[in-house]
């Protein structure tokens, strides 16, 4: 199965100047766990709900802090015509849960752990390992 068959085509994007309050409002309304940050039709970052929570927990003002202040800048993507198993390999290797999907240098979708788990239940074990690693990292173990 190909990534383009599983990906969510409705990617929520934002500009780097969007405040954390605005970003969190959009994410809540759209029931999304992340925003792809774009400038001039190029991906420049990604912000997750966890990034926003950490920033606020660290005392950052959600009305003055922008997505560019907290976004992950090292963006890992996958091509739409790649196999889903390749997406799994990339996610596990880089310990990430979301991959922007590209076609002809354009953002065409996003694929998440949840998208894959629904379609490919046999790979849930690999994601369980990924989630366990993240839980250990969070707990400080």
Instruction: Give the least confident one: 3-7, 51-55, 116-120, 136-140.
Output: 136-140
d(CA 8, CA 74): 21
Contact indicator for 102, 76 with CB cutoff of 8 Å: no
15-33 mean pLDDT: 95
pTM: 0.79
Task: Map out the domains of the chain with their CATH numbers.
Answer: 3-139 (3.10.580.10)
Nearest Cα to Cα of residue 69 among 82, 81, 58, 85 = 58
Which position has the higher pLDDT, 128 or 51? 51
Predicted confidence band of residue 136 (pLDDT cuts 50, 70, 90): low
Write the pLDDT tens digit of every residue in 74-124.
999 999 999 998 999 999 999 999 999 999 999 999 999 888 877 766 566
In the chain, the percentage of residues whose pLDDT exceeds 90 is 70
Residues 6+ apart with CB under 8 A from 96: 76, 90
d(CA 137, CA 16): 28
Nearest Cα to Cα of residue 5 among 104, 95, 103 = 103
């Amino acid at each position: 199965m190909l990534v383009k068959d599983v990906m969510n085509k409705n990617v929520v994007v934002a500009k780097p100047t969007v405040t954390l309050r605005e970003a969190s409002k959009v994410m809540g309304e759209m029931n999304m766990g992340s925003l792809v940050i774009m400038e001039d039709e190029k991906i420049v970052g990604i912000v997750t709900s966890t990034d926003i929570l950490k920033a606020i927990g660290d005392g950052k003002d959600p009305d003055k802090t922008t997505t560019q202040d907290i976004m992950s800048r090292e963006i890992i993507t996958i091509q739409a015509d790649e196999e889903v198993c390749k997406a799994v390999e990339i996610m596990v290797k880089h310990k990430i849960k979301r991959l922007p999907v590209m076609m002809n240098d354009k953002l065409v979708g996003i694929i998440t752990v949840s998208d894959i788990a629904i379609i490919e239940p046999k790979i849930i074990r690999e994601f369980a390992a990924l989630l366990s690693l993240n839980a250990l990292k969070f707990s400080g173990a």
